[in-house]
């Protein structure tokens, strides 16, 4: 339950709302009227309508948004009234509690509630009581208590992780089909879910996509510094930078764009998993780039379909739908693996380790972990830097081209053909 409702922008107060609803709909004994939505949460503006929820025994047992009533308050404020039976709130709260009474299940979290139910739970947990009596306030607190906010935060995080993870697999399929423009849009959708995960882990439970950036404004720069592989900075600036799509969709531009967003998403959900498990801090080996760094000396990048899964006190690093690609890491090693994101240089990684004085990880672990990731086939394989295989064949056997160049391209071509054959056999 949040604070008082401020309608000063439209020249109205809570009493005006109560009188308007009473005149239009009437109140029965035991009815409870609460404000919810953007105006109640301080997100809306003078153009927003006012969302109201009337908790009443007269409502159907299953909330029906199509039965909402529009009521104009004071001749200038449109309110949207949803009728909710108290037993419906108890049922939703019971389902939420049961979901997290046992082992966490990301798929169940994503599928158990509709978007309408998810938003309704958030709104009831963050509502503003409009009736000033002590009895009404206590009953409002009782209703809000049926839906614990910390479980709503976990629900938002888990649903976001499930959806982003599923899209990672779609991204890999789009890459195989050379759908570069579609890769860009799918990556942006993953970015949206990653924002939801970050917000949910910080207790911002509103599931409505249009408020993502507004809610990010409430996060401190230090919240980004919590993510392994990222230095503290403005969350909004980082997200806007990540969202900036290439002007032309090519294999190189779409691939690099996807890697950057997946790197952020992976760090968010890794940190989120640790946060909901009660970890106060997560090791972060981020180090800002320096002028002398070799920008070409990048660490290998975890491929776009690689995800983390908690297992046996650490994390399994897995390829989606590929059982052969799996590597178990301790928690600190998994945090270090997050910097294998396609943008971190080896110099940054070594510097990040040195700056963590007294930590058990030594600089050699970078090379060791790199070898482990490559051995488990979890890093992105280099691709031919020519548009088509037919062009590769033509260039490889062009007698006018320098012999060294022909040998290098021929070797690259052979490696790519070998990779394709392996994938065809395992498909």
Q: What is the pTM of this model?
A: 0.85
Whole-angstrom distance, CA of residue 203 vs CA of residue 286: 24
What CATH superfamily classification does 8-147 receive?
Beta Polymerase, domain 2 (3.30.460.10)
pLDDT in tens, 144-155: 888 999 999 999
pLDDT at 237: 96
Tell me the pLDDT tens digit for each residue of 375-414.
888 998 655 444 444 554 454 455 555 555 444 444 544 5
Give the span between the Cα atoms of 315 and 294, in whole angstroms.
31
* Residue pair 44/17 in contact by the 8 Å Cβ criterion: no
d(CA 188, CA 164): 10
Residue 283 and residue 356: Cα distance in Å, rounded? 9
Q: At 274, list the tokens.
A: 């640790």
Residue 250 has pLDDT above 50, yes or no: yes
How is the chain split into domains, by residue range? 8-147, 151-375, 389-426
Average pLDDT of the residues in 347-364: 66
Q: Are 219 and 202 in contact (CB under 8 A)?
A: yes
User: Residue holding tokens 């064949």?
Assistant: 393
């Amino acid at each position: 339950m949040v604070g008082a409702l401020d309608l000063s922008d439209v020249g109205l107060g809570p009493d005006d709302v109560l009188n308007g609803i009473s005149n239009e709909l009437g109140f029965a004994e035991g009815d409870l009227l609460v404000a919810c939505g953007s105006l109640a949460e301080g997100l809306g503006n003078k153009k927003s309508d006012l969302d109201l929820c009337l908790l009443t025994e007269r409502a159907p047992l299953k909330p029906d948004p199509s039965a909402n009533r529009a009521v104009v308050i004071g001749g200038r404020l449109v309110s949207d009234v949803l009728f909710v039976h108290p037993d419906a709130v108890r049922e939703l709260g019971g389902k939420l509690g049961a979901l997290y009474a046992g082992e966490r299940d990301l798929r169940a979290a994503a599928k158990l509630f509709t978007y309408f139910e998810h938003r309704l739970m958030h709104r009831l947990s963050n509502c503003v009581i409009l009736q000033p009596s002590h009895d009404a306030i206590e009953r409002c607190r009782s209703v809000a208590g049926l839906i614990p906010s910390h479980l709503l935060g976990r629900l938002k995080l888990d649903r976001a992780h499930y959806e982003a993870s599923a899209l990672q697999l779609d991204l890999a399929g789009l890459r195989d089909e050379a759908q570069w423009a579609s890769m860009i849009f799918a990556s942006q959708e993953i970015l949206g879910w990653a924002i939801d995960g970050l917000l949910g882990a910080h207790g911002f439970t509103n599931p409505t996509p249009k408020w993502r950036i507004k809610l990010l404004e409430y996060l401190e720069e230090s919240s980004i510094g919590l993510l392994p592989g990222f230095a503290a900075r403005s969350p909004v600036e980082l997200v806007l930078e990540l969202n900036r799509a290439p002007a032309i969709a090519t294999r190189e531009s779409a691939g690099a764009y996807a890697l950057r967003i997946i790197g952020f998403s992976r760090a968010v959900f890794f940190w989120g998993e640790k946060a909901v498990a009660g970890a106060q801090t997560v090791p972060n080996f981020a180090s800002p780039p320096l002028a002398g760094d070799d920008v070409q000396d990048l660490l290998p990048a975890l491929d776009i379909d690689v995800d983390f899964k908690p297992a046996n006190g650490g994390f399994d690093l897995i390829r989606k739908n590929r059982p052969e690609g799996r590597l178990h890491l301790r928690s600190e090693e998994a945090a270090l693996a997050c910097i294998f994101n396609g943008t971190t240089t080896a110099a940054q990684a070594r510097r990040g380790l040195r700056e963590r004085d007294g930590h058990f990880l030594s600089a050699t672990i970078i090379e060791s972990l790199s070898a482990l990731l490559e051995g488990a086939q979890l890093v992105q394989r280099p691709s031919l830097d020519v548009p088509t295989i037919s062009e590769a064949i033509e260039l490889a056997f062009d007698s006018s081209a320098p012999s060294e160049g022909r040998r290098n391209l021929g070797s690259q071509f052979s490696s790519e053909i070998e990779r394709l054959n392996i994938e065809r056999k395992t498909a």
